[in-house]
Chains A and B, each alone.
Chain A
Amino acid sequence: GEDVEQSLFLSVREGDSSVINCTYTDSSSTYLYWYKQEPGAGLQLLTYIFSNMDMKQDQRLTVLLNKKDKHLSLRIADTQTGDSAIYFCAEWVNNDMRFGAGTRLTVKP
């Protein structure tokens, strides 16, 4: 089957940059998303990128897309304790959404 994969855990120090990686297998993805989930809450859309783009920057967030390698990354600059959460990548393919299992980001003071 088609999978979206991401590592489960990432720990960084406050002020450092965080890079969360994701790989997907379906080359027909049209949109790729990054969501954030804080404890006890639902998903919050952080950003998305069209499949014909290589990069998208939004304040502290930078999304990089390598279509050849089917690799998506989310970089958070100057990571803060409030960024501690679970981050999900997702792809939109043929009107369906497919999610990774989520990367739990822990930010240490």
Chain B
Amino acid sequence: GAVVSQHPSRVICKSGTSVKIECRSLDFQATTMFWYRQFPKQSLMLMATSNEGSKATYEQGVEKDKFLINHASLTLSTLTVTSAHPEDSSFYICSASESAYGYTFGSGTRLTVV
């Protein structure tokens, strides 16, 4: 079945630095990928829809300049958290679709900003 690889699984960074999270579809091409964020003890929040070759579509309230999304190829989307602050600490997860097999989620990235 379809596999989505997300890297890194855990990252700790200093406040003010930037962190890049990668989401790769390993054995299929994905024109669309989704990025989610989960706050502690809350449900998943859709941040943005990543579209290959064009700008991402951000959900209301999500700062596009802070959460940079690049979907440069059909198998890779990246989320960069710029100038990270402790309140950005969260669990970030991506998903992609290969039409025949539904949606596949990455394993998630636990970001801790200290």
Contacts and interface: CB of A to CB of B under 8 A. Distances in A.
A33 interface: yes
Contact of A8 (B32, B36, B43, B101): B101
Contacts of A53: none
Say which size band chain A's interface belongs to: 20 to 34
Nearest to A86: B102
Q: Tell me the interface secondary structure of chain B in the complex.
A: strand
Interface residues of B, number: 22
Contacts, number: 45
B109 to A, nearest CB: 10
Contact of B102 (A33, A45, A95, A101): A101
Interface in B29-45: 32, 34, 36, 38, 40-41, 43-44
Interface of B: 1, 32, 34, 36, 38, 40-41, 43-44, 46, 49, 59, 91, 93, 95, 101-105, 108, 110
Interface of A: 8, 31, 33, 35, 37, 40, 42-43, 45, 48, 86, 88, 90, 95-97, 99, 101-102, 104
